Homo-oligomer: A and B are copies of this chain.
Amino acid sequence: MKAFKAKNRHDASYYIDGILNQDRVKLSQAITITESHLESDKQLASQILQHVLPHTGNSLRIGITGVPGVGKSTFIEAFGMHLISLGFKVAILSIDPSSQRSKGSILGDKTRMEELSHSNHAYIRPSASGDTLGGVANTTAESMLLCEAAGYTIILIETVGVGQSETAVHSMTDFFLLLMLAGAGDELQGIKKGIMEMADLIVIHKADGDNINHSKAAKSKYENALHLFASNESGWSPKVTTASSTQNTGIDTIWEIIQNYQTLTVANGYFQKHRNHQKIDWMYRTIENELKRLFYNNSAIKARLPLLEEQIIASELSPVKAALNIIGEYNKTKKNV
């Protein structure tokens, strides 16, 4: 654990008051502290979060995914501006564990959502960097809570639809929106079935010009595909719709569908139940990640595992025996600390 302290930090109350007074600069500083790997920052972040916690939860959390090229930025720009026109304050966060973004590309993020980045009612924050999806997802979820405490009433959490980060986004949002393109061949454009299964709404995007008929056909196709699958615990049947962000068509319908979802699930109790589950799961996920992190970061364990793998592949050692042996060694080292 690094003991040195980050420069220029204020007391927790400075950030807490700032967030509760909807000060965007102090919100940004608090998120930076949340993203930091310094031990002193971690403690400060924990204090801030603990204090603003009673002021969180008052937003609708929407996850948005789709493969690169599907037009996520233009969609978020159009959808976000629509929400702002209805009086919402919108925060846009992203999860992208592969990203090695520098401060420079925060500007990149803001450029690709030009109108939003100039709105006083929008807050755009790109993905934290980090080694593990678990770590990045944790940071994003905590940033989401800070944004809620700062008065943002809609949180859009964006992810790149090619990995495991969709599950992380799904685990922290109320509604999961999947962007797709028409006419990109028969396969689901690299989208895994498991991701389709999480979708509450599939939007066939770029449904404009010559693409309108293709998009309508794709809509039917995905509707049929969704019907093939079992229904959701929420009581909601996933919907498919078409939209064009450049023509600004279908964006209002998307918001109506999301409102219908919210009305239904608030009424049947699923909305709150789902959020409670998410919070509890978050604790257990953190516990289990931390148990694994402590184990795999142990230097004796690190040195031993490649040897065990070799012995297992050579059928010299059974996988279970290998596992129990190394757990035994691990517990011994811990008692001697």
Contacts and interface: CB of A to CB of B under 8 A. Distances in A.
A229 B192 contact: yes
A280 B316 CA distance: 13
Contacts of A334: 331, 334-335
Interface in A73-119: none
A280 B230 CA distance: 33
Interface residues of A, number: 61
A7 to B, nearest CB: 25
B319 A283 contact: yes
A323 interface: yes
- Give the dominant DSSP class at A's interface: helix
Oligomer: number of copies = 2
Contact of A320 (B228, B280, B282, B331): B282
Interface in A167-225: 186-188, 190-194, 196-197, 221, 225
5 A-B pairs with least C-beta separation = A286-B323, A282-B319, A283-B319, A193-B193, A287-B323
B309 A280 contact: yes
B318 A142 contact: yes
Interface of A: 46, 49-50, 53-54, 56-57, 138, 142, 145, 186-188, 190-194, 196-197, 221, 225, 227-231, 276, 279-280, 282-284, 286-288, 290-292, 294-295, 308-309, 312-313, 315-324, 326-327, 331, 334-335, 337
A318 B138 CA distance: 11
Contacts of A312: 279-280, 283
Contacts of A331: 294, 334
Contact of A279 (B53, B319, B326): B319
